[in-house]
Amino acid sequence: MADDAGNTAVVLLREIAAGGGKKIGHATLNAEKALNALSLDMVRALDAALVRWAKDASVACVVIDGAGDKGFCAGGDVRFLRDASLSFKGVGPNPQAEAFFAEEYRLDHRIHTYPKPVMVWGGGIVMGGGLGLLAGASHRVLTETSRIAMPEITIGLFPDVGGSWFLPRMPGRAGLFLALTGAAINASDALYLGLGDHLVATGDRGRVLEALTRATWSTGADDNRSRLTFLLREFSLRKDAAPESNVRKHADAIARMTEGATLAEARQQITGYTGEDAWLKRAAAALASGSPTTAALIWELRRRAQHLGLADVFRMELIVALQCCAHPDFPEGVRALLIEKDNKPKWTPATQEAVTAAWVEEHFTAPWSALANEVSPLADLGRP
C-alpha cells in the first residue's frame, strides 16, 4: 500500500476532500503482516500527522485504522525492546526504550486530549499499544471480529499506554481482573466496559469512510463530534450481532475473585477457580503462570494512580516501563513467548511470595535520577 505521494510508508497518510470545504485526515498503520504492531517509526509518523492536522483548520476530523482486516494493531514492538534491553550496558535509562515509550505515551496522550474528533477503527486484534491508540479516541469503533487484550502478565511488562488510567475506570474491579489475567475481550465486552462506542460490521469500513467524505462538516469541533456520532449510529449493528459478553456474564464471579484487600487474596481467588467456564479457566491459568513481578506492579500501579491525572499516569508508567526493561522478567518473558516459544519463562523472583516491597519500589524509581541534570522526557506533558 502507498500514501498520497505514491510512497510505501509505515503509516499511510491521506487528506480526503469532504463536504463543507473540509478534509478528513486518514492514517493507516501499514504493517499488515505484523498485524500492524507499533514501531517507533510508526509512532513518530502518526504523531507528526496529528500535530499537523490539529493546526490545519481545513481538517474536520481524523480517522485511524490498520491495514487489512485481521488486526488494527497487535501492540508495541516488544522484540525490538527486548533487544535494546539486552544490549544496553550503560547507566540511567535505556535510550532506545526511553525513546519508544516516551514517544508512544506522548502520542496516546495526544489522542486522549485531541481538539478534533478522532475515530479509531478497532477491528480484529487490538492488543497492548493498539489499545493505547483506541482508548483515548473520541469515537471508538468495534466490529464483530474485535479481540482486545492487554496480555502483559505473560511477558513481564504491565498494562501500560494509559492502562493505569482507563482500567480502574471500568465497572467494579473488571479492569483489575483483566490486567492480572490478560484475558481477551470481544466487542460486547468493550462496549460494556466503556472501551468502545459503536459496533459496526467489518465489511462496512469502506462505506463509513465514504459517508465521512459526503458529510458536511463545520468549523466547530463540538458540532463535528456530534456529526460523527450521528453518522456512525446509522451504521451501528444491533448489540446481539456481536458475541456474548464474557465480562458481563461473569460480573459476579469477577467481583468475588477480586474483592480481596491484598494481591495475595485476589491471586488465590482467581487461580483457585474450579469451574468449567473456558474463559475463566484461561484467565486463571494465565495469572498462575504469569510474572509475579508484573502482578505486584499492577496492584501497586492501581493504588498509586488512584488520584493522578492522565499526564501524571503516563509519567509514572514511563518510569515503570523503563525499569521493566532494566529488570529480568521482561526480556525473559519475550524470549519464552515470542523468541524461543518454549512457554517456560523463568521469572525473577519465581513466586509471588518472593516479590518484596523493595523490589517493587525499584520499579517506581526514576532511572534518570542516576544522571545529573536529567529529567523525564514527559515532564512537559499536559502542561502549558
Phi, psi of 283 (to 5 degrees): -65, -45
Check if 132 is active-site. no
Q: Each residue of 186-217: b (16+ CB within 10 Å) or e?
A: bbbbbbbbebbbbbbbeebbeebbeebeebeb
What is the C-alpha separation between 164 and 313, in angstroms, rounded?
7
- With H, G, I as helix, E, B as strand and everything else as coil, classify residue 48: helix
Catalytic position from the list 129, 130, 132, 162: 129
- Spell out where the chain has E strands: 11-17, 23-29, 59-66, 71-73, 118-122, 125-127, 139-142, 147-149, 198-199
Question: Is 144 a known active-site residue?
Answer: no
Which of the residues 104, 160, 189, 332 is marked catalytic? 160
Cβ atoms 238, 179 nearer than 8 A = no
Q: Position 344: which residue type?
A: K
Catalytic residue among 104, 152, 300, 317: 152
Residue 160 designated active-site? yes
- Rounded CA gap, 288 and 301, in Å? 20
The DSSP line for 265-285 is: HHHHHHHT--S--HHHHHHHH
Residue 329 known to be catalytic: no
> Which of 286, 320, 278, 275 minimizes the C-alpha distance to 177?
286
Q: 316 phi and psi, to 5 degrees?
A: -65, -45
Neighbours of 126 (CB within 10 A): 36
Cα Rg of the chain (Å, integer): 21
DSSP 201-247: -GGGHHHHHHHHHHSB--S-HHHHHHHHHHHHHHHBPPGGGSPPPHH
Catalytic residue among 25, 66, 76, 123: 76
The answer to whether the peptide bond before residue 171 is cis (omega within 30 degrees of 0) is no
Active site residues: 76, 129, 152, 160
